[in-house]
A and B are shown apart, each in its own frame.
Chain A
Amino acid sequence: MHETVSPAIAVDNLVKVYKASTAVDGISFRLAPGTITGLLGGNGAGKTTTIATIMGLVTPTAGTVTVLGANMPRERYRVLHRMNFESPYVDMPMRLTVRQNLSVFGQLYAVPDLKGRIAGLAADLELTEFLDRPAGKLSSGQKTRVSLAKALLNRPDVLLLDEPTASLDPDTADWVRGHLERYRHDNNATILLASHNMNEVERLCDRVIIMKKGRIEGDDTPERLLAHYGRATLEEVFLDVARGTSAEAAS
């Protein structure tokens, strides 16, 4: 499945080697604008390295990564203002209030009408009553919503999400998924989502890329992947790939 015109993200033969270990081993994919793609894989599959390379935080050992037409990381400053991300590996400064945090990031991203944008996001993400509370005093669900507000602050064309609903209760997680769907629809944004939550991936993603040991083991729509592996759920497909089994062998 390869889009041929103006991909929002293009990864070509990407290789990343850390000292002796190969984290990503020659993967390629292209994501069309306005799509949500799930990146699946067990621990050490190379998802985080792939996302970090797309963000320009990691230099590829070989291959190229292009985001909105800019080579990453070499030309990152051309497009960073049109991207954003949320990851469990980063936090917002705990002692600053939610409003202060969003205000600082809003200035970094040159967000127009910043006060209005913060107020709008706070209303959308039900954060208004927490705006003047230190980020460190929020519950994990509230912190996730603040991180999401930071990720959406500059209305990014490309949004990278690493486990966006981890540690959320099912109700809040469902609410966040709904918000992401609306954001994609309203802004024609391209979203790349790394997740271990198969229900989330099935609900949100137009396409799923499954990684194992730095390589792509599957890349298709959720429906086609289910048909290809002869499984009823993506979780079963994921387990097949992770364990190297198949539906026939399992039965």
Chain B
Amino acid sequence: MSLSDTGVNFSIRRVSAMVQRYWYLLRSSWPRILDLIYWPAVQMLMWGFLQLYISQNAGYFAQAGGVFIGAVLLWDILFRGQLGFSISFLEEMYARNLGNLMMSPLRPPEFLAALMIMSVVRLSIGMIPVSLLAIAFFGFNLWAMGFALAAFFVNLILTSWAIGIFVAGLLLRNGLGAESMAWTIMFLFLPLTCVYYPVGVLPEWLQYVAWCLPPTYVFEGMRALLIDHVFRADLMLEAFAFNVVLFCGASVAFLKLLASAREQGSLLQGAD
């Protein structure tokens, strides 16, 4: 059996064709573009004003300038990264186009690569204007984090892709019955990865769970940076190691769910 038989063969042309397909879709609808900016902006403004209020009334939080806004922006990278990946995948199901793609020479790794690229494109359209709004409204400059922001971003986007890949597998196997997972699965990470509070707040047994999740290291790292002005490279490396495991696990799960979808005949949506 050759490499191409196993789907290992990788074509940039096919990835680029899929990215082009999603770009055509995105630019054909201004509500889709507006939606990418709307919720991150609302969230950032709400948490920003809350932080402003707290900082005027509590000495500790006054020192921790921008922790809430930073947290909400990084949370949006994690959440919107996964959502951007999953929505592009769902568009194929809504359009009943999966059969066309699955019977084309497009390999699963190419399909996933296109979804990853689109998640970054969608994230950029949403987050760049919102990060500028944070500067305008609250004087919080996310970009001033520099290299630390790059480390945070890489780790958060890897987690979001891993979850997106797993959800795509569930959707292939179970059809649109699993759609709600695409919209809600990341909210499980919200309390467990300690987006808005330190890990120490959790009960001890739950802290073990939290430290198994890569974003926990990022949010702890962000607080270390904003409160103590220290960049914790050790936390970023640990997050990356966990991300590698999570990404590989999600990829294996996706391939197994895809094989199961072929067994169950669920790739031809709506066929009897």
Contacts and interface: CB of A to CB of B under 8 A. Distances in A.
A96 B271 contact: no
A80 B104 CA distance: 6
Contacts of A75: 1, 5
A92 to B, nearest CB: 7
Interface string A140-172: 000000000010000000000000000000000
A108 B100 CA distance: 11
A91 B95 contact: yes
Contacts of B264: 18
B268 A87 contact: yes
A145 to B, nearest CB: 16
A16 B18 CA distance: 32
Interface string B252-272: 000000010011110111111
A89 B96 contact: yes
A93 B102 CA distance: 14
The listed residue with most A CB atoms (<10 A of its CB), out of B4, B5, B104, B262, is B104
Interface in A82-129: 83-85, 87, 89-97, 100, 103-105, 107-110
A95 B95 CA distance: 9
A56 B259 CA distance: 11
Contacts of A76: 5
Contacts of A91: 95-97
A93 B18 CA distance: 12
A73 B7 CA distance: 11
Given A87-B268, A90-B96, A108 B104 contact: yes
Nearest to A55: B103
Contact of B103 (A23, A85, A94): A85
Contacts, number: 125
Interface stretch (A3-11, A27-35, A44-52, A225-233): A44-52
Contacts of B271: 48-49, 52, 87, 89
B28 A77 contact: no
A78 B5 contact: yes
A137 B146 CA distance: 47
B103 A80 contact: yes
Contact of B14 (A59, A89, A108): A108
B207 interface: no
Given A52-B265, A95-B25, A110 B13 contact: yes
Contact of B17 (A16, A23, A52, A108): A108
B265 A57 contact: yes
A74 B26 CA distance: 35
Contact of A107 (B14, B100, B267, B269): B14
B129 interface: no
A75 B6 CA distance: 7
B95 A150 contact: no
Contact of B105 (A81, A89, A96): A81
A37 B259 CA distance: 29
A58 B267 contact: yes
A43 B272 CA distance: 8
A92 B24 CA distance: 13
B25 A96 contact: yes
Given A57-B99, A87-B99, A108-B14, A77 B7 contact: yes
A57 B103 contact: yes
B173 interface: no
Interface string B7-46: 1010101101110110011001100000000000000000
B106 interface: yes
Contacts of B4: 77-78
Contacts of A52: 265, 267-268, 271
B223 interface: no
Interface of A: 16, 18, 23, 43-44, 48-49, 52, 55-59, 73-78, 80-81, 83-85, 87, 89-97, 100, 103-105, 107-110, 134, 150
22 contacts: A23-B265, A48-B272, A49-B271, A55-B103, A57-B262, A57-B265, A57-B268, A58-B267, A58-B268, A75-B5, A77-B6, A77-B7, A77-B107, A85-B103, A90-B96, A90-B100, A100-B24, A104-B20, A104-B24, A105-B100, A108-B104, A109-B104
Interface of B: 1-2, 4-7, 9, 11, 13-14, 16-18, 20-21, 24-25, 28-29, 91-92, 95-107, 259, 262-265, 267-272
